[in-house]
Amino acid sequence: MRSKSSLYWWCQLGGWLLYGLTMVFFAYIFENKDNHILYPRISITILFGLIFTHLLRELIHRFELRPPIQQQKWWLLTITILGVVVLYNLTNSAIVEWLRMYNPTIKVSVEKRFLANLILDSPLILVWVSIYYIWHYVELGTTTEIQKVKLESLVKELELKTIKSHINPHFIFNALNSIRALVDENPERARTAITELSNILRSSMQAEKLETVPFERELNIVKDYLALEHIRFEDRLKVEYDIDEDTLDQPVPPMMLQTLVENAIKHGIGKQKDGGQIKVISDYRDNHHELIVLNSGNLNGSTATNGDGFGLNSTRNRLKLLFGERATFAIRNTTDSMVEAKVQMPVQFAHS
């Protein structure tokens, strides 16, 4: 607040002194250099200009006429400006008359001098008002733009955190269901499953702190998850990986691949009487990092178009928030018995 007040006074003093020096310059060129009345008159104009424009600023603050101005207050602003202009010229004329700052040989009446001052000096106040409002409208626009950017950043951060907070409970629920299925059948396998789940949770808690993680870390979580699911499905689940090692350091949204694999297990393998296959592919294609999850199963018409469930929607939302239109996600039937979930993200090059 203090810095803005200092800037205001520097602008006030600088502006009016610049006006005074300009008048002195033109007087020195075009007027009689022995004219001892002109320079005191310029000094009076500068002094009262400072006083009355500051008074006008205080009135603008008092009546809440700073930008943006409500439509019903335009008349109040007009009256305020006109009032200060008239008062400024009346005072100026009165001081000139009282100090006899005029040429006695061409003395005019006070009324005519006031009218002349009103015509000649009023534009100074109007120029000051124009500069004042232009300054504040520019400042208001800049502040609004900054606030808009900050708000968009905050909304983006909150949306990402909200999505993440839903992913982990969603994943844990399904993982605990897998473990529950083993408790009565085979306690030893259940204990192994708990160990696998512990590894996954440890990894996911670390990933929660980041917007993106290296694909290698995400792949390790998926391998732990599929190892856990393999205990439940046994030979009904077949897993295959086709990973280009150059893609392992590419950034991906945390838990995204795991979400797609989880969706493939829940809606694909889990609904097949004889189980099925899951294949995870990572490669480069057309300057994009392409991730594909293939699974046995079939999509119905609406699901093939729009996806199904929270997991797929969260995938779309996170890709849009992090990469905008540069990333795509699609899920479709490749054959009558195979479903493909494909994510394409812009390639991120490591900084040297």
Residue 216 lies in a domain: yes
Count of structural domains, the chain: 2
pLDDT in tens, 189-220: 788 788 888 877 777 666 556 778 899 988 98
Residue 89: which domain range?
A: 2-150
Same domain for 139 and 41, yes or no, is: yes
Q: What is the rounded average pLDDT of the residues 94-106?
A: 64
Return the H-helix or E-strand segment holding 8. Answer: helix 2-30
Higher pLDDT, 343 or 334: 343
Q: Find the mean pLDDT for residues 340-351.
A: 84
Verify that 144 and 191 share a domain, yes or no. Answer: no
Residue 351: predicted pLDDT: 45
Q: 19 or 28, which is more confident?
A: 19
- Look up the CATH number of the domain holding residue 267: 3.30.565.10
pLDDT of residue 156: 66
Arithmetic mean of pLDDT, 28-37: 64
Give domain status of residue 28, yes or no: yes
- pLDDT tens digits along 225-261: 888 888 777 888 999 999 999 999 999 988 889 889 9
* Domain final residue, candidates 150, 178, 210: 150
Residues 241 and 104 in one domain: no
- Asked if 340 and 216 sit in the same domain, the reply is yes
